[in-house]
Amino acid sequence: MLRLTEGKKDEYLRHHSTEALNFQITYTILYVLGMVTAFTTVVIGSSSSDSGDASGWFFFPFFLLFPVVFIPFAIGAVVGAIRAGQGKYWRYPISIRFVRGARGKNATGES
């Protein structure tokens, strides 16, 4: 919301709100893909284990991948908030730039 209202006036706010939005969109896409993969694997695993043994548990490693995706994104959100609070321009390293409006890669604005 701030990006739409105050972002037109304040380049610093526009940069960080655009970066955060792109970061959250990227995370959401990865999360949904992981959920679809895990769900599909569970359905395939449960339908293929007709003997009732534990062979349907082959999907378990997919659930272990969620922390691998979540932890870097949680750390990135905290670092981004700290840098924004310090008045420094910062770009998320793991983010697909869907929305334009952030400063360029070389224009960090740091002194």
More confident residue, 26 or 42: 26
More confident residue, 102 or 48: 102
Query: Which of the 8 DSSP states describes residue 56?
Result: G
Nearest to 68 by CA among 37, 105, 102: 37
Indicate the average pLDDT of the chain: 76
pLDDT, average across residues 41-51: 63
What does the block give as tokens for 76? 């990135």
Query: Which of the 8 DSSP states describes residue 53?
Result: S
pLDDT classification of 78: cutoffs 50, 70, 90: very high
Q: Are the C-beta atoms of 21 and 99 separated by less than 8 Å?
A: yes
Is 1 a residue whose pLDDT tops 70? no
Q: Are the C-beta atoms of 23 and 80 separated by less than 8 Å?
A: yes
State the pTM of this model.
Answer: 0.69
